[in-house]
């Protein structure tokens, strides 16, 4: 049966007079629902942004506490983190860049900013651009003496860029711990970088030998330099392991923290 629209009424009245299953009313309901849903999602995204930023910050702090070995379940993260001393470090000189506030300096944004970063000609870590400045954290003992330094590092694995921290003892050469807080390697394979047993292998390994030559290696076999420089590669994840090897060696080398580590070894920090 054809629909009889009242000719002498306005468009709204004519629309309202249509049966509920008419094409215009169906389209109207569908479009309205889409609009409503998108408004709810947008409002939720905006409203939750501060909470997300807070969670990201807490997650970063937990990771720094964990890699430095001071995290315990139930700990007040903000209080524990307050004992860490953040500094923005100029990589090339190994000096602290006090013109930048470490509380607000954004390492990732700096790596994308052409004024604060450079393109790497030699790029073993597969990061493309490297920031000239990064935020590092010092941990001092009760007497104020340096206990550990926590340095961010990142580089490409097999499927993703792995972001993490390495904690070094005050000698600037002994590894206390290494852990990644963000990556997209395969669970059970490359993602075994998160396995506590594998992370534990890094503890007390040395970066460089007595001559200052960088020796730390992630490999299936022990390097000639000796077992104190060797972390066993993940089985079934040679490519991720290779990525970790490259990124750790890159960040601990001349293009990374070497100038800063020299100052640390000289007791200048």
> Out of 117, 240, 250, 260, which residue is the one contacting ligand FMN (CB under 6 A)?
240
Cα distances (Å, whole numbers) of residue 33 to 15, 37, 136: 18, 6, 48
Q: Which is nearer to ligand FMN, 236 or 267 (CB)?
A: 236
**Residue whose beta carbon is closest to ligand FMN:** 190
C-beta closer to ligand FMN: residue 223 or 267: 223
Q: How far apart are CA 35 and CA 248, in angstroms?
A: 48
8 A C-beta contact, residue 165 and residue 176: no
- Report the residue number, 183 or 206, with the smaller CB distance to ligand FMN: 183
Residues in the chain: 269
Query: Is residue 79 helix, strand or coil?
Result: helix
Give 152's strand partners: 165
> Within 155-194, which residues bind ligand FMN (CB under 6 A)?
158-159, 185-186, 189-190
Q: Site size for ligand FMN, by CB under 6 A?
A: 12
Min dist CB 67 to ligand FMN, Å, is 22
Q: Which of 113, 239, 253, 263 binds ligand FMN (CB under 6 A)?
A: 239
* Residue 170 or 192 with smaller CB distance to ligand FMN: 192
Rounded to a whole number of angstroms, the minimum distance from the CB of residue 128 to ligand FMN is: 20
Map residues 199-238 to x or -, x wherever contact with ligand FMN holds by CB under 6 A.
Answer: ------------------------------------xxxx
Give residues with Cβ within 8 angstroms of 106, minimum separation 6: none
User: Comparing C-alpha atoms, which of 50, 48, 71, 49 is closest to residue 60?
Assistant: 71
HSE-up (13 A, CA, CB side) for residue 183? 28
DSSP class of 69: T
Which residues form the interface with ligand FMN (CB under 6 A)? 158-159, 185-186, 189-190, 235-240
């Amino acid at each position: 049966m054809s629909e009889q629209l009242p000719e002498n009424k306005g468009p709204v009245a004519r629309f309202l007079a249509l049966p509920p299953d008419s094409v215009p009313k169906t389209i109207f309901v569908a479009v309205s629902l889409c609009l409503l849903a998108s408004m709810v999602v947008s409002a939720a995204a905006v409203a939750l942004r501060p909470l997300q930023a807070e969670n990201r910050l807490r997650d970063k702090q937990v990771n720094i506490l964990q890699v430095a070995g001071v995290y315990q379940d139930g700990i007040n993260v903000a209080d524990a983190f307050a004992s860490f001393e953040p500094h923005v470090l100029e990589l090339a000189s190994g000096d602290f860049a006090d013109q930048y506030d470490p509380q607000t300096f954004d390492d990732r944004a700096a790596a994308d900013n052409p004024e604060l970063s450079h393109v790497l000609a030699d790029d073993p870590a597969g990061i493309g651009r490297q920031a000239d400045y990064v935020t590092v954290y010092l941990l001092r003992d009760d007497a104020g003496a340096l206990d550990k330094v926590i340095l961010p590092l990142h580089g490409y694995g097999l499927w993703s860029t792995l972001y993490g921290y390495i904690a070094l003892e005050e000698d600037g050469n002994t590894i206390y711990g290494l852990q990644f807080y963000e990556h997209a390697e395969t669970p059970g394979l490359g993602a075994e970088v998160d396995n506590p047993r594998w992370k534990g292998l890094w503890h007390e390994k040395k970066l460089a030998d007595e001559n200052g030559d960088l020796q730390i290696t992630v490999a299936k076999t022990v390097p000639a330099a000796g077992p104190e420089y060797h972390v066993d590669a993940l089985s079934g994840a040679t490519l991720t392991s290779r990525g970790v090897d490259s990124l750790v060696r890159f960040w601990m080398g001349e293009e990374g923290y070497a100038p800063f580590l020299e100052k640390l070894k000289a007791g200048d920090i």
